[in-house]
Structure 1
Amino acid sequence: MAEPKGPTSFAIPLPNPAAALALAGDAESSTLHQLEALTGASLVLRGLDLVIQAPPSQMERAAALVELLRPLWQEGQAITQVDVRVALQALDTGRSAEHQQMGRQVLARSQSGKLLRPRTLRQQSYVEAMEHHDLTIALGPAGTGKTFLAAVQAVRMLTERKVERLVLTRPAVEAGERLGFLPGDLQQKVDPYLRPLYDALHALLGAERTGALLEKGVIEVAPLAYMRGRTLADAFVILDEAQNTTTAQMRMVLTRLGEHSRMVVTGDPTQVDLPYGVKSGLQEAAQVLQGVEGVAICELTAADVVRHPLVQRLVEAYADRDATKLAPAVKRQFGSPCSEPEP
């Protein structure tokens, strides 16, 4: 029997008004309008029912996409263009089951009440790597959540008393500028370089609690140079902006790891601010430590950018430019626990 060609109607009941508001979005970014543009179906809110009208083939696609977003709208969480894009990609590549499992994985709740989850499948692999490996190296462009997810995992382990303290460090290398002498004590001098880590901690713990833990020494912030000679035991260590470490600095900090500790090293190999001719310790470590037991090497890509959608396009544009001019500095397929074969 031939499939009916006219539009059909299907209603998805919503649990509460918050779910309806999450699907509606705001005036500038209506989630329903995005879904309509991507599926060709008509989506209308009628009370606490989401009514989908479309021919059967488009109906199935629209309903499946709404279901993939259920973990967000069911909790009344805002749905972004990134969330819609990632869900659609999972649907089109036959990875809906993996996406649904990812949506059920809540890592923490921010101070503003937002549920924090991995938002792409590679981010989920990154989180799992941090849970099961003593050393995780994460490479990827800006906006892929490398630093924020490391901070989330660090706070989780501190809260669960799996570690006794957090140690945050990064090389004090300026991004193409020379700021000159910075006034104040050590903490005040290094603070500008570690602002992204502070922002993540404030989102998770609040500024007041973060400040209290800093005063007690439970959270320690120090420039990379101050790591030499130390043994970091019972700690979660985050080395951020590691593309700006030299080979000697990277080797030094990796060997600081003590008993019952974890370390996460994050960086973007395309944004090295070292002097010309100085090799990045991050790039070398990703090559040397490949296959070492207890080490996970994760690569996030432009597809994992979770900032403004324009950031993804910017990253892709520069990557295309670099691909035509330069040979890749790091082999891209690591074959590590974090690697995700492209669909």
Structure 2
Amino acid sequence: MTEASQIIQLPSNESAIALAGDREENLQILSRHTGTKLVLRGYDLHIYGQGKAVERCAAVIGLLEPYWREAQNISQPEITTAFQALDTGQTEAYRHLQQNELARTRRGEVIRAKTRNQRQYVQAILTHDVTFCTGPAGTGKTFLAAVLAVQALLNDECDRLILTRPAVEAGEKLGFLPGDLQQKVNPFLRPLYDALFEFIDPEKIPDLMERGKIEIAPLAYMRGRTLNNAFVIVDEAQNTTPAQIKMVLTRLGFRSRMVVTGDITQTDLPSYQASGLVVATNILKSVEGLAFCELTSADVVRHPLVQKIVAAYELHEQKNQSSSK
């Protein structure tokens, strides 16, 4: 095998930092995937290794150029997706994924689907009235749905945005929390507020809520209603009972869209209680007009450690299932 090397010149220090990642973790990922050695010297990235390995590494870095050239942070899923695109001959589809801007945050950060599964999830929401999405923490289930919901509201594609989730606790009871009912349920709804704050000035949200443009409430508040011309997000649906998920699904009105998200591996229901999300998926999977998406640990876009934690738990559960057979 012939040893080879290549130098990629980066336009700025910010670009070098974006490509290298925190503690040069991105360079380590590229090295592990290709068997090359990467050394960053100033604005020059040196790649050493076997000829084809160097070419493969450089090709992936080239696919990632739209990110590092604009000094945008690059996550591990984006690198993994770039490798998948290169190895399966889908580089054009990957470039399209990069160009498909969903929105910009109040700080000007570009929001786009970062993996192929996330892109399929976004497309499902845009083309179906009801979309189910399951996956572990950090895969963007709620965030991407909130992005599309806020854009629909701001573009007058719907009259109101409704965010709801069951008030089921992981280890605490509502009665032990201080305050009135709204204050008691706010901790459960905080992730939904966090997503909204990325796109709407927090000072404007109370006014939008007062005018009924945005409603954030426990799932129980949905009973007996018909939700017309609304974008509805049902979060943490793994903690619904079968009766609750049926109730909220049948609230869907005309010109409305609903996204149901959850992680079926993190159910906080009693052990004897079946998860409504699991039951609904089994019952409705053959119903035309509904979309079902599954995100995996490969789609985790939070801190890199989150992906490792999720993968470790998945391996542990697989071992337990094997030993119980």
TM (normalized to structure 1)? 0.84
Is 1:22 equivalent to 2:21 in the alignment?
no
Contact 2:128/2:291 (<8 A) preserved: yes
Name the SS of the counterpart of 1:180 in structure 2.
helix
Are residues 67 and 30 of structure 1, via their aligned partners in 2, closer, same or farther at CA, if it must alter by over 3 Å?
same
Which of the numbers 111, 132, 135 marks the counterpart of 1:116?
A: 111
Corresponding residue for residue 192 of structure 1? 187
What amino acid sits opposite 2:250 in the alignment?
T
Contact 2:101/2:112 (<8 A) preserved: yes
More helix by share: 2
Query: Which blocks of at least 5 consecutive residues in structure 1 are unaligned?
Result: 328-343
Q: How many residues align?
A: 321
Contact 2:75/2:301 (<8 A) preserved: no
TM (normalized to structure 2)? 0.88
Contact 1:138/1:267 (<8 A) preserved: yes
Is 1:233 equivalent to 2:232 in the alignment?
no
Residue 285 of structure 1, CA deviation: 0.8
What amino acid sits opposite 1:264 in the alignment?
V
Equivalent positions of 1:284-323 (< 5 A) are: 284-323=279-318
CA distance in 2, matches of 1:52, 1:324: 39
CA distance in 2, matches of 1:260, 1:274: 32
Are residues 46 and 127 of structure 1, via their aligned partners in 2, closer, same or farther at CA, if it must alter by over 3 Å?
same
Corresponding residue for residue 202 of structure 2? 207
Percent pairwise identity? 53
Is 1:127 equivalent to 2:118 in the alignment?
no
CA distance in 1, matches of 2:47, 2:314: 39
CA distance in 2, matches of 1:30, 1:284: 40
Which of the numbers 4, 10, 13 marks the counterpart of 1:7?
A: 4
Residue 175 of structure 1, CA deviation: 1.1
Contact 2:13/2:42 (<8 A) preserved: no
Corresponding residue for residue 243 of structure 1? 238
Is 1:278 equivalent to 2:273 in the alignment?
yes
Runs of 4+ in 1 over 6 A off after TM superposition: none
Residue 178 of structure 1, CA deviation: 2.5
Deviating more after overlay: 315-324 vs 153-162: 315-324
Is 1:146 equivalent to 2:141 in the alignment?
yes
Residue 243 of structure 1, CA deviation: 0.7
Name the SS of the counterpart of 2:199 in structure 1.
helix
CA distance in 2, matches of 1:90, 1:166: 35
Residue 36 of structure 1, CA deviation: 4.2
CA distance in 2, matches of 1:37, 1:217: 51
Equivalent positions of 1:31-110 (< 5 A) are: 31-32=26-27, 34-39=29-34, 40-42=36-38, 44=40, 52=47, 55-110=50-105
CA RMSD across the alignment:
2.5
Deviating more after overlay: 233-242 vs 54-63: 54-63
Residue 185 of structure 1, CA deviation: 4.3
